[in-house]
Amino acid sequence: MAAPAITHLLYLHGFRSSPQSTKARRMAQWLAASRPNVVWACPQLPPSPAEAMRGLSALTASWPRASMGVVGSSLGGFYATVLAEQIGCRAALLNPAIDPARDLARYIGDITAWHSDEHFHFDAGFVDELRRMAPAGLTDRQRYLAIIARGDEVLDWREMAARYAGCRTVLLDGSDHALSDFDAQLPDVLAFLGLA
């Protein structure tokens, strides 16, 4: 039996990103035009991973698990995996971070966001928070869609493909970390969520 269509959708942006990212805005536009009845949330995530997860848990506490979905890009893909493992929802991952504790350790200090001039502090303790929340494994690989670009200039596509082996995967020959060709990937995301 097919999973029900998503009624509640959460979008999680990447490190240094925001709800103003191209992918987040594109999904919001599509939902507003085609599925205005879907509950949509795309919060600005705080620098602290533990604080981010507490906020996401509170935000989605009353959402129906069977018809809830989460889309996550890069670090947001890591958070989406954590959330999916905690509550059993579907997750569409866009070039998901596999080991952000390792990868973000070099960013400790003051950081500038991509979509504004805002600065934020990435604390050494946040690396430990990421390490503590990393899921040991995936309990249900049918719960995941992974869209992975071989042309990702930030993360290793082989590491992503290995982590999500056995999940529904779209492996792109080129593209980039931002998935600049996201319009071409959107139909796969929507189909996975039962929205198209």
The 3-class SS string of the chain reads CCCCCCCEEEEECCCCCCCCCHHHHHHHHHHHHHCCCCEEECCCCCCCHHHHHHHHHHHCCCCCHHHEEEEEECHHHHHHHHHHHHHCCEEEEECCCCCHHHHHHHHCEEEECCCCCCEEEECHHHHHHHHHHCCCCCCCHHHEEEEEECCCCCCCHHHHHHHCCCCEEEEECCCCCCCCCHHHHHHHHHHHCCCC
Q: What global pTM score does this model have?
A: 0.94
- pLDDT band at residue 196 using 50, 70 and 90 as cut-offs: confident
Which pLDDT band holds residue 113 (cuts at 50, 70, 90)?
A: low
- Supply the mean pLDDT for the chain: 93
Residue 153 has pLDDT above 70, yes or no: yes
Higher pLDDT, 9 or 47: 9
Which of 13-17, 109-113, 115-119 is predicted least confidently?
A: 115-119
Q: 2 pLDDT exceeds 90?
A: no
* pLDDT above 70 coverage of the chain, percent: 95
pLDDT tens for 47-72 read 999 999 999 999 999 999 999 999 99
What's the rounded Cα separation, in Å, for the pair 192 and 187?
8
Instruction: Report the share of the chain in percent with pLDDT over 90.
Output: 82
In sign, the C-alpha dihedral spanning 29, 85, 100, 55 is positive
- Of 3-7, 39-43, 80-84, 175-179, give the lowest mean pLDDT range: 3-7
- Cα atoms found within 13 Å of the Cα of residue 116, Cβ hemisphere only: 9
Over the stretch 80-89, which tens digit does the pLDDT of each residue have? Answer: 999 999 999 9
| pLDDT, mean of residues 171-183 | 93
Q: Which CATH class is domain 8-192?
A: alpha beta
150 pLDDT tier (thresholds 50, 70, 90): very high
